[in-house]
Structure 1
Amino acid sequence: MSGDVFEARGYGALPIGFGEKPGLVVVDFQTGFTDPSFPMGGAPMVDRAVGNTARLMRAAKAAGVPVIACVVAFDGPKGAPRWKVAPVHDLLAGTPATALDPRIAAEEPDVVLTKTAPSIFFGTAAGAILTRERVDTVIVTGCITSGCVRASVIDAFSLGFRVQVPEDCVGDHDQAAHDQNLKDVGRRYADITTADEMIAAINAWRGRNSG
């Protein structure tokens, strides 16, 4: 079997598409992952993704699209799952590393949730909020692509949402991990897009619903 073995077996053959109403989720753009003064912060891809997500949030808020952000934080050491990433255990609620990145906070997400597991949907009200808002298409942004973003994509898919992932609105510590995980979720669960494509889709949705 020559070429892409997944493609040859039908993976990625069907586009997900944009549905009736979008919602935007912003995963873990907190200073512990964006500020280079922290052990996990300062990755160039993450910094790029924060800037593009801020633009996307601005368009979403202007169009009336619900925006949910989240941070990872624990009330204490016993509140954390058995993460293998040592610095994650330092993300205690109320500490500077658990604050939203100022560029994200400035765009004023509608809801800010706290989570302890990888996915924005696990153990939070994110799914219920989006369902209440009649959202059927979830745009996933955030970090880290190979970790919490991937988990959030899979949960959004499993909850029945159409999933869109703008490549330049998610980031990782490693380019290969970023590329490989986006390629994999793109062949299984989501459309891989860009910030500009999602802004255009939101503006088109706004135009259809402005009358």
Structure 2
Amino acid sequence: MSDIDNRELDRMLQAAFDASTRLYQERGFQRRVGFGKRPALVSVDLANAWTRPGNPFTCDQQKMDDEIIPGMQKLLAAFRAAHLPVIHVTTAYEITDRNAEFTDMGLWHNKIPVDVVDLKNKELWAIDSRIAPVKGEYTLLKKRASSFHGTELAGILRANGVDTILVTGVTACACVRQTICDGIADGFRPIAVRDCIGDRVPGAVAWNLFDIDAKFGDVKSVEECVAYVEGLAAARVAAE
């Protein structure tokens, strides 16, 4: 889309958001879930197949390079300094033959090309080197959209006393959204980090973040999230 088309789309979306906000607020939506006492950073599918050009799953490259990756670097620095949990989530499949009698892709390959993310090709599903995991951080392999569905994520978070998840990654309309919806369903406070969430489709991020903020979690900026994490760290030091 051209810049003019994007501006027109943004204008139309904002008009829809303004009208929907009035409706939601009249009916008691858009309440705040708030930050809890112990957060984890859950980074969804910021692996090469999504963050680098030339793949079926590649997301908006300009936003990825100019906003999402730099924002993630700030969040990671804050979480690492505060010694708080970081979970990097990626997606890959062991049996990618669509004609196989059995496959770990389930039925999803009938809708989207998940068969390209072959477990044998680690470069595709490896976390982007610009935000690569360090010692003490966990990389979780999922098979479905949600980072919670069929994985150990909820158990790991609970075992580590986590009550809040700061969610970043791609895509806003699928894996990020499903992770946030399942997160609140499993009893965690979801915070969608606005600057660190992307998609392939124009308007998808804005619409999904608006809807998430109305129903499933709070949408916050990188700066707000970093300030929250740094505040927790400062409070812990003061208490020691």
- What TM-score does the superposition give when structure 1 sets the normalisation length? 0.93
Distance in structure 1 (CA, Å) of the matches to 2:57 and 2:234: 40
Residue of structure 2 in register with 1:35 after alignment:
52
One-letter identity of the residue aligned with 1:45: K
Query: Which of 13, 20, 23 in structure 2 is aligned with 1:5?
Result: 23
Report the 3-state secondary structure (helix = DSSP H, G, I; strand = E; otherwise coil) of the residue aligned with 1:168: strand
Percentage identity across paired residues of the two chains: 30
* Structure 2 residue 223 is the aligned partner of structure 1 residue 196: yes
One-letter identity of the residue aligned with 1:16: V
Residue of structure 2 in register with 1:80 after alignment:
105
One-letter identity of the residue aligned with 2:152: A
**Superposed, which structure 2 residues align to 1:1-211 within 5 Å?**
4-12=22-30, 14-43=31-60, 44-47=62-65, 48-77=67-96, 78-83=103-108, 84-95=110-121, 96-105=123-132, 110-210=137-237, 211=240
Q: Structure 1 regions of 5+ residues with no counterpart?
A: none
One-letter identity of the residue aligned with 1:80: M
One-letter identity of the residue aligned with 1:199: V
The answer on whether the counterparts of 2:59 and 2:198 sit within 8 Å (CA) in structure 1 is no
Deviation (angstroms), 1:10 = 1.2
Deviation (angstroms), 1:75 = 0.7
RMSD: 1.8
The answer on whether the counterparts of 1:69 and 1:113 sit within 8 Å (CA) in structure 2 is yes
Distance in structure 2 (CA, Å) of the matches to 1:2 and 1:69: 34
Of 45-54 and 57-66, more deviation after overlay is shown by 45-54
Deviation (angstroms), 1:99 = 1.2
The answer on whether the counterparts of 1:46 and 1:172 sit within 8 Å (CA) in structure 2 is no
* CA displacement, residues 18-70 of structure 1 (integer Å, 9 cap, x when unaligned): 11111110000010001102222251333321221122011101101100011
Q: How many residues in Structure 1 have an aligned counterpart in Structure 2?
A: 210
Return structure 1 stretches of 4+ with deviation > 4 angstroms. 106-109
Distance in structure 1 (CA, Å) of the matches to 2:161 and 2:41: 13
One-letter identity of the residue aligned with 2:105: A
Distance in structure 2 (CA, Å) of the matches to 1:130 and 1:9: 33
One-letter identity of the residue aligned with 1:79: D
Deviation (angstroms), 1:122 = 1.2
The answer on whether the counterparts of 1:69 and 1:109 sit within 8 Å (CA) in structure 2 is no
Deviation (angstroms), 1:174 = 2.2
Distance verdict in 2 for CA 1:188–1:42, change over 3 Å? closer
The answer on whether the counterparts of 1:57 and 1:107 sit within 8 Å (CA) in structure 2 is no
Q: Structure 2 regions of 5+ residues with no counterpart?
A: 1-18, 97-102
The answer on whether the counterparts of 1:186 and 1:192 sit within 8 Å (CA) in structure 2 is yes
Larger radius of gyration: 2
Deviation (angstroms), 1:159 = 0.6
